[in-house]
Structure 1
Amino acid sequence: MDVRKEFLEFFKSKGHEITPSSPLVPDDASLLFTNAGMVPFKSIFTGEIPRPNPPRKTSCQTCIRAGGKHNDLDNVGYTARHHTFFEMLGNFSFGDYFKKEAIAYAWEFVTRILKLPKERLYVTVHESDDEAYELWQEHIQKERIYKFGDKDNFWQMGDTGPCGPCSEIFYDQGEKHFNSSEDYMGGDGDRFLEIWNLVFMQYERSSDGKLSPLPKPSIDTGMGLERVTAIKEGKLSNFDSSLFMPIINEISKLCGKAYEYESGASFRVIADHIRSSVFLLAQGLSFDKEGRGYVLRRILRRALRHGYLLGFKEAFMYKLVDIVCKLMGTHYSYLNEKKDFIKEQIKLEEERFLATIERGIELFNEELKNTKEIFSGELAFKLYDTYGFPLDLTADMLREKGLAVDEAKFDELMREQKIRAKASWKGSGDKELLGDFKALIEEFKENEFIGYDNFSSHSKILALLDEDFKQIKELKSGQIGFVMLDKTPFYATSGGQVADLGLINKSEVLDTQKIYNLNLSKLKANENFSIADRVEARIDIEKRRQTTSHHSATHLLHHALRKILGSHITQAGSLVEPDKLRFDFTHPKPLSEEELEKIENMVNEMIINSYEKRLDIMELNEAKKSGALALFNEKYQEKVRVISLGESKELCGGTHVKNTAQIGSFYIVKESGVSAGVRRIEAVASKAALNYAKNLNKELLSLKNELKTNEPLNALKRLKNELLSLKNELKNQSKQELQSFEKNGTQICVQSLTNGDIKAMIDEFKNKFNKAVILLIQNKDGKISLAAGVKNASLKAGSLVKEAAQILGGNGGGRDDFATAGGKDASKIEEALKRALSSIQKEL
């Protein structure tokens, strides 16, 4: 089924004009690329241009999400749904039809044209949108309609402008393949897959946040072509669909290696990235050192590095252009017209990168030998600057090793390079210090930061700079520029702590930066400022206090993590703001609820204990010998500040509370993964913690009201037990008894069956015994599935299942402890079982 064609023809029959896909580079300075189907119509929605005639449009819009706010690049290849390039199907009404028709059209297309089974469809609406809730009940049972809040079901173009509630259609991919704790409607799992978003644009949001009804409400919808195609073809991953498999098969043919999903991330990265590269080049973009051209270069070079992993040592991406044009050239004819040009450009770029990749990887591997947890930011920058390795490419390589890169250091070096480029002074002959900064440092050395103990100061202006860091004699009212004071209370962004805000006289301080140890405040002038003026500088005391509480809380959190999880914990990054904190740390696995509770309790105990802050100025080596924690790869001065809060002791240049009691309280809001081997905790303290607790209490009261009980936990447990009982009842209906025997202390099971969940059976079998080897072959409805599990034995599940699958005319593999495969020839099941049993007994 050609989903793209069916969609456009369906809406054409409903009076919509088919609009061709707009360029990937939009006529919109706020966007890097066209990232949604509505982008070409943005000016219509905002009222900048009149409504078109007819006021109904439909399109299949090509989109890129690989930079800026919408950046999926890091996830591509490692998930089933993320892409840098994708196509978004959409229908739009500009003040013509509204919710009733949009809902009816969507339901008709999904059920009559796509013929998706109604029993697998679910719908969400905004919690306040009773109209949509009632309209959907004309098409789908009330029990299959869910209400969610702003986060899930409210859409807005920006902080101000057109906005409104939205309604999403979900497809249930089934519990068989998706049964994690997050696989429920509203959860983060993949079981319930969003396929279509209907935005009801009915409000205008003003700068004060007020919502006013639009005189002509509009409709904006978006449906991912890749997702719908995969669903129609019965695939659980977009990459297994007909949109990608021909490309993957071509990659496999070129490298001489079979594609397997579990180990096939590199195939998927290349298949995705060649589509992006072909379309961007076809639309006139070229490889460059900055901007959109640099994003294109990043995409191609990431694919090349994955090609390198597959064994490609010569240019190969250009050989995939033909298959992309064959797959997509019918609808996008310009691909075929520019095919030869695209091949030439890709081949040239490949050859440029391949000329340096060997040396870059050598340097990478050399540094890797000296890396325990955090990879050098300096070398990451050198790989970028000298050898053309984008940062996310280096991060990608490290993820496979369970490591992370020092992004803070990389960003610092990148900032310095940008400043260097901006300054571009001629004739100084000094490569290290930039012209304006060199002169400032020579004249003043450093200006004095007095903000540890003072929230205000009467200061003298030493220098003024414009936004390009060029020295100026006067900063006039209405202008924005940088002010260098002889002494300043404004803390500059560093160490994860955000800068102070406040006033210089009556002018607003927007930011404070530290450049070459010069403390510069960015000012929006409400009066004229000249060099040598005497001014009053005042920080925003309340924001400083809240930021300080969160900063001290990160120290307590760091200490608690090391106490509870172990001394392997190392800080990998942090962000400290007035209303929250974020702390990244090295750890190999997610934290359990029990661990999180212990950590949270320990931090709060340290707060309650009212520890006085102790500040020591020490020699660096002396500080380290005293047990003070220092950040890996951070460069410190010879004299350092050591902050002690109870047992917590760290080198730190940030601001801190005088007593831990001033933090008030501490709550962990979220724990998540950043990359392989790096976890993240997000938390709140002080006033933010108080607000968090109030909101939790409100939610608890709402839950009590909803469940009509004062003991909601017991009620939820009852519901959970009832659900578990029903699940077990269903499970037992299809369960078969497993036959096993013991040899040399290892329990062995090799068996064929027709019903049951073989993965669950293997998990249950392994849990029963200290040493176990199990292979199950299931012939169900003409489909042959194999799975193997190994526990505390010398065999490898991947090898075991692969040997059996090959006898059955299939293939597969996986981890040493668990692996799956498929087969074709049911007549050889007994032979496969006998061979597997023989292999197991021989090994044992």
Structure 2
Amino acid sequence: MDIRTKFLDFFKSKGHQVYASMPLTPDDPSLLFTNAGMVQFKDIFTGKIPAPAQKKATSAQLCIRAGGKHNDLENVGYTARHHTLFEMLGNFSFGDYFKKEAIAYAWEFVTQELGFSKDVLYVSVHEKDDEAFALWSAHIDPARIQKMGDKDNFWQMGDTGPCGPCSEIFVDQGAAHFHSEEDYFGGDGDRFLEIWNLVFMQYERSADGTLTPLPKPSIDTGMGLERVQALLEGKKSNFDSSIFMPLIEAVSALTHKPYVYESGASFRVIADHARSVAFLLAQGVNFDKEGRGYVLRRILRRALRHGYLLGLNQPFLYQITQKVCEQMGNAYPYLIEKKSIISEQCQAEESRFFETIEAGMEIFKKELSSLPANTPFSGDVAFKLYDTYGFPLDLTQDMLKDEKIDIDLERFHTCMQEQKSRAKASWRGSGDVSKNGDFSEILNEFGTNQFNGYEHSTYTSKVIALLDSSYQRVKTLSSEGFVIFDITPLYPESGGAIGDSGELYRAGEKVADVLDTKKYFGLNLSLISPLKPITQGDSLEIFVHFNRIETAKHHSATHLLHAVLRKKLGTHITQAGSLVEPTRLRFDFSHPKALTLEEITEIQEAVNAIIFKNIPASTECLPIAEAKAKGAMALFGEKYGDIVRVVNFDKESCELCGGIHVPSTGIIGNFYITKESGVSSGVRRIEAVCGQAGYAYSKDALDILSQTKALLKNQDIPLGIAKLKDQIKALKNQNSKNTSANTLQETQTIKDIKLIIQTIDTNDIKAIIDNAKNQYQKIAILLLHQDGDKISLACGVKNAPLNANDWIKGVAKILEGGGGGREDFATAGGKNPDNIPQALDFALDFARKKIQDSL
């Protein structure tokens, strides 16, 4: 049974508007992830914006509970119902119907559409909600209705605001498998399983706790798809249903081990976490050291740890994510579109973690084996695993769960406090701009204001509302705050482009500077610094600053760059972020490896070739389905209406975009890539300039060339530099011969293999290593040089069972850098000097283990 479609079709037949699942990363600074179906309607329920014309809605919402207040991560795999990612089916009323209809809809759907027998259904209501009790009594035997207190049956969004009693529907799974003392209706056992929660939002709670009836009470419901699927299939655990078993079977095939429920927690963890990893990567979240990317990394690493327990010691999760894409691609087509990039990013992150997990597990096992009875696990070791080997604290706790051993958390947090510079590895929220204030009054009074900036850069408009710096409405503005015009040519920050700035005039006299323009709830708000008081109702002349055309050049160049990247590198390229300013652009995109110099040159030349063709831009507004059929690219997470604006540069680029662009590509003038770098695992960044900034960049480059020629006293710059390099190399070789013998100190000798690991003052580490390899028959040497925040390191191996490339990559990762090389020699760099002690510890542990294992 396709429960998702059945649910949406049922409520559509009852007059509800069907809403697509909103992104898992909400535009809400109070939430790390979308964790409930009502999140996309939160501003309506809180009254910040008016209810839509259609006051009944339904959705199947993807949710994640793996970070922040709503965090089920540690329970996943060990219970029958907890998941990091799940789907919540819901129906909502914004002041339309209330308890009677909500109860009737729920009863009809559960009994007639899903086919649950009335004999297995039970209901709970709030102990003071006699109205709900009476309404349910018309459908179900009152003996099957349980009254409960605030803890179980009262819902509130926060300490203040909308709230109300709720009613839950339960399914009796039978006494055959559930017969503990708590397996009664109302008890804490699992026999009676809650499947649907109906929230009756009928009060407003004030700061003193007073409940005031809302003039238009609303409905918010949530039904867990995974629970219902399992119940309809007669399964006692969600993981035994057709949603999870294909993934568990895929894990079983990889491990060559049968899945047994009683001992299969690791199978369940991997199946669950693969779903979260697949969806988060598909929706543009990238592995990172903080925020949502850090939670994604924690989820992946927890899955890998459980794979390690099953004998999987090389990347495997990426294969399970492919099963997720195939399984759920019909409902969420972007999984199929992003299937290859999900695999590439997942596999790359797994490879990085497996480089250090083995050494970390050895340290963990060693500490565990020497731990006296009834003694907590060392906080110092737990911190070392966290800080050096990338094991989050909850991962170590998870490994100790089966042993029933706690961690010395006080000592762990002391270590963490001592290393504040690395505490940023903990997630710190989304960092989104807060949207304070109540915009409902303005929207009800005026609706959204009109943007006419595509046609105008000056315009005389009426001030319809003013807000102070805390977004509170005022009649007159004399200090910094926001102005809202009925019609405005000022473009708001959107799609990566910064908002317009400008000036305001009244009767020819300048009265304010426009500092920025933003868009909240469909309203264009311009941040102004008044020179004279501005009053609601004023008629002002708006002048958009000239830098808009330079922003437009960079915006159009970003579109061309995106198109060229897809042509040159592949259609797996998708935008992962952008910034467009008058003087530069920044474009983040999904790609598994750094671009070569040849690729960068090709891309730059291809963008310039399009510019030089002077291709006219065309814009048209189309139904979104028609726009996509024409090949227009849409960005995941962007909010598009039924009618969208398509920006097209002939056959070169076609995207959905509401931004300001040049009328033809020739106006861009030029395009120079100034930098290519990595942002996070599987995400690259290109920074570039064009227009006036491009001219300044090229002029600076020519000036530097002229100065270089003058310094070299040679018109052939490459030849002059080559001669200087030869001279420097000769001097370095001479210097290293004089210093290396006195510089190196043997760390350890293992079976006549000299092991040398140390920091060194001179930067000529390659020559010193070469000399050391000439001096000893068997040697493994790693040297590190620090110059400010810059770290250089190199390692060499001669007649020793150690791979220099693997060795240095593990060390460089701890230093937040990278590198590599041959089996006998490799170099790398780093950028976190605070991690040098941990990096040297790792280097020693890694080398010792490899050498000793070979003996």
TM, length-normalised to structure 2: 0.49
